[in-house]
Amino acid sequence: MRSLSWIAVLFTGVVLFYTAPSLPPIGDPESPASSHVSPYYIENSVSDMATPNLVTTVVTDYRGYDTLGETTVIMTAGLACLLILGFWTPMRRHPTETDRLSFGSPVLDAAARLLVPYILLFALYVLFHGHHSPGGGFQGGTLLAAGVILVRLVRGRDCGWGVDREQAVRLACSGAFLYYAVGLITMLMGHLFLDYSKLPLPLTAAMRRNMGILGVEIGVTVAVAGTMILIFDCLHATPHEDREAEVSAERAGAEGHT
Amino acid sequence: MMQPLDTMFLALLIVIAVAALEAGDLLAAVILFGAFSFFSATFYALVGALDVAFTEAALGAVIATVFFVSAIRRSSKAARKRAR
């Protein structure tokens, strides 16, 4: 098995070194990637939807169906983790001392208190500034989830603003639903699915598409954050049998003290 | 077209991957895997794919590491020994 892994790593490494030099230079107008649809995106992105970050416009507007599928796949992956791993771990539990302070230490506690607000603020910045700078729904959602997971690692499973497994499922599903809802609104207005320029907003067509992108990005953020917290919760929860041993050990410890 | 910096990062990626394979401890392998993600994110940023680099840094280096550590914590001692 070990030798097989070695072969895989070295083969991939050789392929990497062999193919990386033949990548076209960045910004080469003759390269295949920039000679078909890219010129249209580059010329029309700003006038179409007032969004300078081309990656955001391509991901959420020009190729919006792909991202809709990705969001659904992420949500489904989280639900699959819940189906497989959630079977061995209890959904609702009575908290014990170890839950409240799982990694508890004053240094970690102080560091988390300092970091978490900035992580959450940065997540929102990444989400709402995704139109103008690298970032957007997927990155923002991951950072939001990272903030919550950090709190739960340091302060124990009962902290993290009450985002338990049920809430995480709700977040993941409602985020994906928000994406579909934007598309359904445009369909209800009698136009194509996910045609943001037909959203019922009192704005110019470009700004309506801009707002449509924002709505979709918020949906992706909520879905990704919910899914990440859900998977973490499933992986991190203590299985039933270990749990019983833990509780009885704690009881024995408490009796020993008194 | 290949910059010397690109070559350096690609070589570093292979070295870290081999080190993660050879690590005697699952936890060490996971941390090395996080380092692998971090350097691949840096490589993506170097070639101009900033959005991809951002996703790789947030998902690969942070969240995936946490998931792996949680999974190791839950796996039995026998399974951990077998993985070595």
pLDDT digits (tens, 9 = 90+) for A151-202: 888 876 666 676 778 888 899 999 999 999 998 998 888 888 888 887 888 8
How many Cβ atoms from other residues are within 10 Å of residue A163's Cβ? 22
Q: What is the pLDDT, as a whole number, of residue A46?
A: 82
Q: Is B5 on the interface with A (CB under 8 A)?
A: no
ipTM over 0.85: no
Q: Is A26 on the interface with B (CB under 8 A)?
A: yes
- From the centroid of its chain, how far is CA A210? 21
Which is more confidently placed, B18 or A246?
B18
Q: Chain B contacts of A20, Cβ < 8 Å?
A: 2, 6, 10
Shortest CB distance from B17 goes to which of A9, A25, A149? A9
* pLDDT per residue as tens digits for the range A200-234: 888 888 888 888 889 999 999 999 999 999 998 88
Is residue A206 within 8 A of residue A176, CB to CB? The reply is no
Domains of chain B by residue range: 4-83
> Are A149 and B21 an interchain contact pair (Cβ–Cβ within 8 Å)?
no
A53, A54, A235, A243: best to mutate for the B interface, most B CBs within 10 A: A235
State the Cα angle at A33 between A32 and A37, rounded to 5°: 105
Q: Is B69 on the interface with A (CB under 8 A)?
A: no
Is residue A127 within 8 A of residue A135, CB to CB? The reply is yes
Q: What is the mean pLDDT of chain A?
A: 81
Tokens of residue A131, six digits: 């139109």
Distance from CA of B30 to the nearest CA of A (A): 15
- Token pair 């169906």: residue: A65
